[in-house]
């Protein structure tokens, strides 16, 4: 703004700001003789005498000003913002006055002597100047805070501060010095009983963390500020719970040292990416685009279980190759809605058909095949949760085996060129019902050798980040303050990311000629306990300090170590160095089909036929270690629906 357009107040303000240091020096210099003269007046009860007051004052005041200014400069009183006055500033003022007074007294003694000089003036002057210099700074700060409070808009929010330590006091200071925050602290909460009832910064310690719900209601608290950065996360989570009881918003404030070092973890806890936990480099698929383009571009593709972790990623990757039509088949309407919304937004020109349906509904699936006649079916729909399937093995068999047989039969009748089945490492020497049903299905698909449909199975280990896997469970437990539950300190699993698993499925579909079981070379299996520790650390927390780790024992149907293949299976290389396949196992196909027919008849009325069903399953997968006795034990315990 040009000077001629400024009013007087703005002009003076600009001059003051531009010459702030000069203003500070002049104002403090002016206070020195004023204080000194008033010291004489107070000494002689405001009687102004030429010999007692005027002459001593005029003779000595130049030396006093010089002594004061030298020491003021030495202790740095000519810099700094008065609006931020603190105890440190008051200490500097006291030091400067004491030292300059000693220097001035020495000058008076050597130059004039003390015979006719009132000695009490030295003390009175020092005290007066101390109060003047300190007072002008405090007055400046108070004036600024008052003016800024008037500028603050709206009603200030009532805040309760948890933690009456250094961080809590820093928070109060910041709130009081920064009216723009528009916050009003009502008091402290601290678990130290010795602080209870005392006032800190004129705010009372009102109670402990258990009192938060009551205090929130009593003082109409709008927000809780948690200022105890040294507390373990499990203690902080207990405070969060108290806040959530009354629905009051809460924020966690890190310590200054943690802000400086970047080690804050509550408000800045980051989301850990799955590949950070893999324990090996991610498998690179950079040279297969032409292969997958030939397989998928311009073709109609159907994905079952399209709303699940694997199924939805299949849809995303398939869409990148511009199929003529993508059919998403899913019985969970919520999951189907979200993947349908996502796919239509990302691929607006893709022909997407979203169908709510069950793989056990053969008539509907057959009609779908007749209507669209897809080139390839990716079968991702399955029950995968091992302990749950142990408690309800009949449903595991019905969905995973009978459901797959239903849609595979439809594919054979409609001469669908390819069918890719997603299996698991739990199918190897299965100790669970879920793994057994997957092995039953692998063998089922190998019985279709003479059909026009090529059936291909893809076997891989645990998928990091999929629904029902340990990573989402661990993340939830960490967010809740722990503990993280691990089955066994020595438990290991083969791990892969969802994109890796899905790309393997797509490549298997392209490479398969029918009857193969493909698997991915996933390196060494990962220790689950170490995985839990890594996840806690990558989240910014400390294992066993912030988050406890508890070992709960292997659950029903679980192994200590998983396998991708067993002795007797021949491993063959493929065109991709990270993908291998198993040679086709020989078994009596006709006998297996007879067992399937008997199982289907038993499944028509499973109640009362449970033992027969288990015996048939054991005949179909002799290496399985599942037990009908365990099933009966679950039923007696009330776990059987």
Asked, for residue 395, whether it belongs to a domain, the answer is: yes
Written as six digits, the tokens of 579 are 């993908």
Overall size of the chain counted in residues:
641
pTM for the model: 0.58
Return the pLDDT at 402.
96
According to the model, what pLDDT value does residue 192 have? 86
Assess whether 144 and 166 both reside in one domain: no
The answer on 89 and 42 residing in a single domain is yes
Q: Tokens 């008091």 identify what position?
A: 187
Q: Who's near 548: CB < 8 A, 6+ residues apart?
A: 234, 482, 483, 484
For residues 589 and 451, membership in a common domain is answered with yes
- The number of domains in the chain is 3
Query: Does residue 346 lie within any of the structural domains?
Result: no
Separation CA 252–CA 7 (nearest Å): 46
Is 320 inside any structural domain? no
The pLDDT of residue 494 is 62
pLDDT under 50: residue ranges of the chain: 1-5, 9, 12, 15, 17, 257-270, 566-568, 636, 640-641
Domain boundary among 149, 184, 206: 149
Is residue 569, in this structure, part of any structural domain at all?
Answer: yes
Please indicate, yes or no, whether residues 403 and 549 belong to a single structural domain of this protein: yes
Do 397 and 493 have their domain in common?
Answer: yes
For 351, the token pair is: 């022909």
Tell me which DSSP letter residue 583 carries. Answer: P
321-to-288, 622, 637 alpha-carbon distances in Å: 12, 42, 50
pLDDT score of 439:
93
Residue 134 lies in a domain: yes
Which residue range is the domain that position 82 belongs to? 15-149
> Residue 507 has what pLDDT?
85
Clarify whether residues 116 and 201 are in a common domain: no
Q: Which residues are catalytic?
A: 426
Strand stretches in 393-487, DSSP E: 418-422, 454-459, 462-464, 484-486
Q: Are residues 105 and 191 in the same domain?
A: no
Same structural domain for residues 134 and 256?
no
Asked if residue 394 and residue 431 are part of one domain, the reply reads: yes
Same domain, residue pair 420 and 504: yes
Burial of 221 (0-12, 13-18, 19+ CB in 10 A): buried
């Amino acid at each position: 703004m040009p000077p001629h357009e400024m009013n007087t107040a703005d002009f003076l303000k600009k001059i003051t700001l531009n010459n702030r240091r000069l203003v500070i020096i002049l104002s403090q210099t002016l206070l020195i003789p004023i204080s000194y003269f008033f010291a004489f007046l107070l000494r002689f009860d405001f009687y102004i005498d030429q010999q007692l007051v005027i002459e001593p004052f005029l003779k000595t005041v130049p030396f006093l000003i010089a002594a004061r200014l030298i020491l003021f400069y030495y202790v740095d009183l000519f810099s700094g913002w008065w609006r931020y006055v603190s105890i440190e500033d008051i200490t500097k003022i006291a030091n400067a006055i004491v030292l300059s007074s000693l220097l001035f007294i020495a000058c008076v003694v050597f130059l004039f002597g003390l015979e006719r000089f009132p000695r009490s003036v030295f003390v009175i002057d020092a005290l007066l100047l101390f109060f003047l210099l300190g007072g002008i700074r405090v007055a400046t700060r108070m004036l600024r805070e008052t003016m800024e409070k008037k500028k603050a808009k709206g009603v200030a929010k009532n805040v309760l501060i948890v933690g009456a330590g250094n961080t809590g006091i820093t928070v109060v200071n910041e709130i009081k010095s920064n009216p723009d925050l528009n916050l009003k602290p009502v008091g402290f909460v601290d678990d130290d009983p010795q602080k209870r009832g005392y006032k800190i910064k004129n705010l009372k310690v009102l109670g402990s963390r258990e009192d938060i719900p009551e205090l929130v209601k009593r003082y109409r608290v709008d927000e809780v500020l948690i200022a105890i950065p040294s507390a373990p996360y499990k203690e902080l989570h207990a405070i969060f719970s108290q806040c959530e009881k009354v629905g009051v918003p809460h924020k966690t404030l890190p310590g200054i040292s943690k802000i400086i070092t970047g080690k804050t973890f509550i408000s800045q806890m980051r989301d850990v990416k799955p590949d950070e936990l893999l324990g090996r480099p991610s498998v690179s698929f950079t040279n297969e685009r032409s292969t997958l383009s030939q397989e998928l571009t311009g073709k109609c593709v159907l994905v079952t279980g399209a709303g699940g972790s694997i199924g939805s990623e299949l849809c995303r990757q398939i869409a990148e190759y511009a199929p003529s039509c993508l059919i998403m088949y899913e019985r969970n309407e919520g999951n189907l809605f979200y993947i349908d919304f996502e796919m239509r937004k990302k691929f607006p020109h893709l022909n997407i058909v979203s169908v709510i349906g069950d793989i056990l509904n053969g008539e509907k699936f057959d009609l779908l095949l007749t209507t669209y006649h897809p080139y390839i079916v990716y079968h991702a729909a399955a029950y995968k949760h091992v302990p749950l399937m142990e408690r309800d093995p009949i449903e595991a068999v019905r969905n995973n085996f009978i459901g797959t047989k239903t849609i595979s039969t439809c594919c054979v009748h409609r001469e669908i060129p390819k069918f890719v089945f997603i299996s698991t490492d739990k199918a190897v020497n299965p100790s669970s019902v879920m793994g057994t049903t997957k092995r039953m299905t692998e063998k089922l698909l190998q019985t279709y050798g003479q059909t026009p449909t090529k059936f291909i199975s893809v076997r891989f280990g645990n998928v990091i980040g999929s629904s029902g896997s340990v990573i989402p469970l661990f993340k939830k437990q960490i967010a809740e303050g722990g503990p993280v539950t691990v089955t066994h300190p020595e438990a290991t699993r083969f791990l892969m990311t969802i994109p890796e698993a899905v790309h393997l499925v797509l490549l298997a579909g392209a490479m398969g000629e029918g009857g193969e079981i493909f698997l991915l070379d996933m390196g060494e299996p990962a220790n689950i306990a170490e995985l839990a520790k890594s996840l806690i650390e990558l989240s910014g927390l400390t294992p066993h300090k912030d988050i406890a780790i508890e070992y709960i024992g292997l659950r029903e149907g679980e192994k200590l170590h998983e396998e991708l293949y067993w002795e007797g299976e021949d491993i063959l290389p493929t065109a991709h160095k990270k993908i291998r396949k198993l040679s086709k196992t020989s078994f009596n196909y006709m006998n297996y089909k007879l067992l399937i027919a008997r199982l289907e008849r038993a499944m028509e009325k499973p109640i009362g036929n449970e033992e027969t069903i288990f015996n048939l399953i054991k005949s179909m997968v002799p290496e399985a270690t599942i037990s009908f006795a365990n099933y009966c034990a679950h039923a007696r315990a009330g776990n059987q629906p």
